[in-house]
Structures are given as structure tokens and as C-alpha cells.
Structure 1
Amino acid sequence: MESFKIAIFCWESLYAERVGGLARAATHIAETLAQRHEVHFFTRGWMPDQTINDVHYHYCKPQGNNIVEYCNSMSLAMVDNFHQFDQNQKFDCLHFHDWHAVQALHILQDRNTILTYHSTEYGRNGNQSGDWWEYREISGKEWYGGLIAKRVTAVSAALKNEVMQLYNVPDGKCDVIPNGVVPHQFRAEIDAGEVKRGYGIHPYTPLILFVGRLVYQKGPDLLIAAMKNVCQNYRDAKLIVAGEGNMRAFLEEQTRNLPVHFVGYIPDSEYIRLLNACDLVVIPSRNEPFGLVLLEAWSAEKGVVASNVGGLAENIDAFVDGVKVEPSPDALAWGMNTVIDDPSRAMTLGKWGRKKVDRRFLWGPIGEKITEMYSHVVA
């Protein structure tokens, strides 16, 4: 297989500015490709350029009064950095992730460009912010990026359909290439009882874990409402909510009399401890283009209750490796009660999920699909 010189444009990475799951996905894509290709990663950061795991990171320091101005500034700085390493147009493929660097895509549109959608602004906010100018600007950039990129990929068939409907991206222009996971990074031999005791929870108490942004899209309010029902059946059940977002104050107000513990943003090391100590992971998203938390829970062999939407609906086989329910408090409560009621079922779901990770979601085979897509773009 031929070797390419690849430029990746993404506003976050694991080793500098990090916001959400996009950092993990883009970084692992870069590191997987770097095993066979020369990879340069253009992103934000406040440190000197560096090379990590054979990926060459080039940082910029954008500024702006709002997210749109900030990302335009970032795009221009990325292009300046790119030109320093593009003598005689040596880069074969330019791979952009999400809308943040679309201005850079615009400037470099005559090259072999790929845009990967990890989500859409509509998916993130639905009709909640349709009147905000930022919503319209970001949606416009997502449309324009899909129009000018030579090739488009989406992380699930559901997201592909979404961008086709929203932005008129032709079916033949868009590939589905899923995210992956490094499973050993999320499996740890720990004393679950000790971890629980550290949070004031009895070792035998059913511990439910939510990890994600506390925003409308991720449905934490649906989970909180569902906990009222769960606690009627399991008075000792506890929920830990890990993450930050604009709904936190509202959610905390809703949980005054519920056994819910908000821990905010936690480092990866603590996330792995909680992931391996919990009895159930719940993903109550209203919209979920993929759902990396699902792969991480499966890597730790944990049972999952998830909304029957998007990439979650595609990837979970009901009652084989997870329980799928509608994104509503009653349905989530039913799913949680069903799994808590039978701990052996939770273990079985987790083990089958781990097997699916090995079959479908390892980065090596996914990297080969990306390389094959590059070959078609370059040809």
C-alpha cells in the first residue's frame, strides 16, 4: 500500500487543547495513520511544536470575540503553519474534522481535501438554538464544507443521512467510517468496592455512571428524571454524573432529594477507575452521531443502557450487548431497572460488547479504510 503525506486539521487533540470526544478520535486516527504515513496535525496549543507517537503537531494561538471569529482566526493560523511544511505541494491529502477549520478548507479547496463530520450543529442543539446567529453561521459552514470538500465521511450511517438531508451532500460523495477505540486503555483491574467507598457509596450498592457534556443533546435531564423511578425500586442505587456543561446548575436543582453525585470534569485516570467500578453505564442522548462512551464502556466490559438513536442504535444489538430504549425518562428507567435487577445480565452484555469492539472498532482496520479512501481521492 502506498504511503501518503497527510495534513490533519482539528481544533482539539489529546495533547493540547481538549474539549470532548473529537480530541480522542482525531488523535487516534492520526497515530494509526502515522504507523504507515507521514502525518502532520494542525491544531491549537500554547506549547512549541512537538512530535508524539510519530505524529508532528503544529500549534497556533487563535483569538476571537466569539466561537465563529475564534475558529476563523484558528483556520488562518493553521494555513500559515501548513504552508511552512508544504514546499512544492508535497501533502497528498488534507483531512479536516468538523466545522471549526472550514475556513482553512476554503483556502485550500483546490487540494485533495476530505471533511469528516463527527456531528452537526442541528444534532448538537436541535431546535433549541435555531434563532441564534452562531447556530446559523456554524450550520452554514457545515453546509459549505460538505460542498467544497473532495470527499466527505461520517462516523455513522445515521450521521451520513443527517448531513445528506441537511446539507444536500450526495450519497456517492460520502463514506461511513466509524470511530474506534484502544480497548486496553479503558480496562483496569481495580477494587470496585474501594472506588465506591471513596465516593461514600457502599461496595454492594448499584452504581450507575453517566459521562458526557451536560447539555441538551446528551440528555442528562432525562436520566435525572428516570432516577426518580429507579430509586423507587432500588432505594440504595446511586448515580455519578461526570462532566460539565450549561445544564449543570439546573440538573443539580433537580436532584436535591436524589442520590446523585456531580463530580464535574475528571481526569482520564479517575474516569477509568469509575468506569471499571460502576455496575451500569447509561447514555441517554437525544441525538448521538456515534457515541465513543459506548466503545469505552464495552472495552471495560460494562453493561450499557442507551437511547435508541443515531450511532447508538446502529451499533448496539438489543439485549445482546446492550439495552436500547427511547430517549424518555420512563423508557430509561425501565432499561436501568431491567439491568440492575439481573447483575449477571449486565456482565453478559459487557462481555459481548467487548467482543464487538474486537470485531468492528479497532483503529488498525479503521485506519486501512481511511487510507483506502485517501487513495480514491488522490487518484
Structure 2
Amino acid sequence: METLRIAMFSWESLHSAKVGGLAPHVTELSEQLVKLGHEVHIFTRSGWYRDYDKIKGVHYQRCNFDESGDIIDQMNKMCDAMYSRFIQVSKEFGSFDIIHGHDWHPVNALNKIKYKCGKPYVMTYHSTEWGRNGNVHLNSPTSTEVSHREWLGGYESSEVIITSDNFKREVQNIYSIPDHKISVIPNGISPGKMEKDIDPGSIKQDYGIHPFAPVVLFTGRMHYQKGPDLLVKAIQKVLDGNWGAHFVFIGEGEMRQYCQDLANDLNVGQSCHFLGYSPDEVLKDWTNACDMTCVPSRNEPFGIVVLESWDANKAVVATDAVNIVDNFQNGVLSYRNPESIAWGLNYAMDGLDSGTPVMGNNGKHLVRTKFSWDTIAKSTIQAYKRTT
């Protein structure tokens, strides 16, 4: 097999600045590409890390720049720093065979490399500005510029990777990218990443929850796109049939305080636990201690939290924005409103002694097969080959 030297461009990773689901995707895909015999360099922000490390075979080329100004100013300076670092690293390690960028943040650097160095690039979409804003177009200068760079990356790239069929339709409807440029390659997970041997009752008791009380877990950004408020509004209808249920929210965002206030206003605050940003081990504890997870998204390009839940053998109750859940096979699908979400949660709770654990086990099987990084990395290599 031909060994490829791959330059991966992302504003985050697990070993630099970390923001959301893009970080594990970039890091774990890169690690698997290395296992397949390729050389991978991740060009990313430095955060509080040093300029260079080699971790699990992956070269981290961290770029320093002045992070003052708004997000557009920051990304302009990041792209300049990434381009300079790319030229420097190319002289040190040799020419790169593949240039692969993630989302809109590094698009200016990718185009500079394309036109100054004559190298085509691959772009992966992980979300859109339209989707992040609740399926509406904002007219602010920042949002307009972000959308422009998303379009520009799709237009200028030689190959586009999109993580689900549902998300592909969204991207094409907004940016008119032709079919022949697109590969649908899902997100992935390393099997066993989230699974942990714990005592669920003990973890529940630490938070004042009865050890046998059913627990629903929400993890992710507390953002309008992710629908945490829809879950809060569904809670009373769940408690009507399952009065002892509790709801754990892990994540930060602009809607956290709103959701806490909303829970109190709806008189369900005593059943809710808002933990904010939590360390990985706390997240693992709750993913294994909960009885099911809820993904109440208004818009969802993929849903890495679904894979994390399945990896811990947990069924998922999700809205129909989540394209990867098979209804009643590995989870329960609802409409994007509180009443329907409550119905899905009650259905899963009624099956805790029977069908719900089976749905979690079915999800675990998919983690080991369809969504393993080995499968996804090999598909990514095939996409790379179409650019060379």
C-alpha cells in the first residue's frame, strides 16, 4: 500500500484547543490512519500546549497566533499561521500528498495552499451555520462570512466528505455541491472508548438520586441546535408516568442557565441535575450509569453522542433530526417537540426490563462494525485517492 503524507487542518483536537465533537473526530481518525501506515500531521491551534508533539504516531503542528478580536479575526490569523507552519513543515518532512480540512475555520489556509502550492484539498463538513442557528439564516456580518467560507470550501475543494445522508441533503440544499464531489463517510468511535465497569447505584447516590431511579442523560453543547430546552419541557409528562425519574445534563453553553430557570419555572427542577462541563471520567461514569440517553436536537449533522451511548450499551431516544438511529432497533425516534420526546422517553422507560437494553446492545454491534475507525479510515483513504 502506498504510504501517504497527510496534512490535517482543524481548529481543534484532543491534544490542543478542544471545543466539541470535531476534536475526537480529527484526533481518532488521524490515529487510525497512522495505524494503517500513513503519516499524519495535524495543523491546529496551540491552546496552552507547546508547538510540537508526536502522540500515538500523529504529528501535532500547533500554530500560535494572536487570538484577540472576533471569531472571524481569529480564524484569519489562525489561517495565516497554519499556512506559514505548513510551508515550514513541508521543508522539514517533505511534500504532502493529501491536504484535508475540517469545517470552515481553516478554509483560507486551504485555499492559500491550493493556489500558492498547487495542491488540491479535501474538505469535511461537520455542521453548517444554518444548522447551528436552528435551521435559520442569520443576517449578521459574522454569520454571513462563516456561511461564505462554508460555501467557498465546498466550491474550491476537490472532494467533499459529509457525515450522513441527511446532512448531505442539508449541505447540498444550501451550497449546491454536486454529487460527484461528495463521499458520505460517517463519524466514528473506538469501540470500548466509553464502556466502563461501574456501580450505577453508587454514582446515582453521589448526586442524591435513589440507586434504582431511572436516569436520562443529555450530553453536549447547551445550545439551541441541540434542543436541551425541548427535553426540559418534556420532563413533566415523563414524571407523570415515572415519578422517580431524574435527568442529568452534562455540557455548557448559552442555554444552560435558561434551561435551569425553565426547569424551576415548570416545577421539575428537583428532578434535574445540571453538571456543566465535566471531565471525561465523569462523562463516562454517567454514560454507563444512566438508563438511556436523550438527543433532542433540532438539527443534527451526525450525533457522536449516539455512538458514545451505544458503546456503553445504552439505548438512545432521539428526534428525527438524528439520521443514524433505527427506530425501535437501537433507539426510539420522536418528532422535534416536547410531547413527542416525552412519548419516546416513556416508551423506553416502560421497556427497561425488556426491549430497551436490547436496543442498546444492537447499537453496540453497530459501533463494532459500521462505525469503527478502521472502517471509516479505509473509506477516507478511498476519498483521498479521488483527489490525486
TM-score normalized by the length of structure 2: 0.95
Segment drifting more, 44-53 vs 236-245: 44-53
CA distance in 2, matches of 1:222, 1:363: 32
**Equivalent in the alignment of 1:40:** 41
Could you tell me how far 1:161 is from its partner in structure 2? Answer: 1.5
Amino acid at match of 1:47: Y
Cα distance in structure 2, aligned partners of 1:181 and 1:231: 33
1:6 matched to 2:22: no
User: Partner residue of 1:203?
Assistant: 211
| Residue 349 of structure 1 pairs with residue 350 of structure 2 | no
2:56 to 53, 60, 74: 53
* Within-5 A mapping of 1:171-250: 171-250=179-258
Aligned equivalent of 1:262: 274
Whole-angstrom distance in 2 between the partners of 1:267 and 1:317: 30
Q: 1:79 aligns with which of 80, 83, 94?
A: 83
Distance in 2 separating the partners of 1:80 and 1:18? 22
Using the TM superposition, name which of 208-217 and 226-235 deviates more.
226-235
**What pairs up with 1:21-32 in 2 under 5 angstroms?**
21-32=21-32
Q: Deviations over 1:177-197 (max 9, x none)?
A: 111101211111100000000
Q: Distance in 2 between matches of 1:43 and 1:119?
A: 18
Q: What's 2:16 paired with?
A: 16
Report if the CA contact (8 A) 1:11-1:43 is conserved. yes
Distance change in 2, residues 1:168/1:128 (3 Å): closer
Aligned partner letter, 2:43? F
Structure 2 contact 16–45 (Cα < 8 Å) conserved: yes
Q: Contact between 1:34 and 1:54, CA under 8 Å: does it hold in 2?
A: yes
CA contact under 8 A between 1:222 and 1:329: conserved in structure 2?
Answer: yes
Secondary structure at 1:91's aligned position in 2?
Answer: coil
Name 2:160's counterpart in structure 1: 152
- List aligned pairs for 1:48-127, cutoff 5 A: 48=50, 49-62=52-65, 63-87=67-91, 90-109=95-114, 110-126=118-134
Q: What is the rounded CA distance, in whole Å, between the counterparts of 2:243 and 2:193 in structure 1?
A: 33
- Within the candidate set 299, 302, 324, 1:287 is matched to 299
- Whether contact under 8 Å (1:209, 1:282) holds in the other structure is yes
- C-alpha distance after superposition, 1:261-310 (max 9, x if no partner): 1000011111000000001100000000100000000000001100111x
Residues 1:338 and 2:347 are matched in the alignment? yes
1:317-359 Cα shifts (integer Å, max 9, x gaps): 1101110111110000000001111212221110011111122
Q: CA deviation at 1:9?
A: 0.3
**Matched position secondary structure for 1:152:** strand
Bigger mean CA deviation after superposition, 173-182 or 59-68: 59-68
Percent identical among aligned pairs is 41
> CA separation in 2, counterparts of 1:16 and 1:291?
22
Per the TM alignment, residue 129 of structure 1 is displaced from its structure 2 partner at its CA by 5.9
Counterpart CA distance in 2 for 1:47 and 1:203 is 41
- How big is each residue's C-alpha offset from its partner over 1:114-152, in whole Å with a ceiling of 9 and x where there is no partner? 000011110111355612211111000000111111111
Match in the other structure for 1:307: 319
Distance in 2 (alpha carbons) for counterparts of 1:70 and 1:149? 22
Tell me which amino acid in the other structure corresponds to 2:49.
M
Corresponding residue of 2:286: 274
How far apart in 1 are the matches of 2:356 and 2:207? 22
Deviation at 1:64, TM superposition (A): 3.3
Offset of residue 89 of structure 1: 6.3
* Residue among 317, 324, 327 paired with 2:336: 327
The answer (yes or no) to whether the contact 1:211–1:293 under 8 Å persists in 2 is yes
Name the SS of the counterpart of 2:202 in structure 1: helix
8 A Cα contact 1:183 1:296, kept in partner: no
Alignment partners' CA distance in 2, 1:245 and 1:33: 32
Contact (CA 8 Å) 1:10, 1:97: kept in 2 or not? yes
Q: Secondary structure at 2:90's aligned position in 1?
A: coil
Q: Is the 8 A contact 1:92 1:112 kept in 2?
A: no
Residue 328 of structure 2: SS of its match in structure 1? coil
Letter of the 1:277 counterpart? A
Three-state SS of the structure 1 residue aligned to 2:69 is coil
Alignment coverage as a number of residue pairs = 375
Correspondence for 1:366 among 356, 376, 382: 376
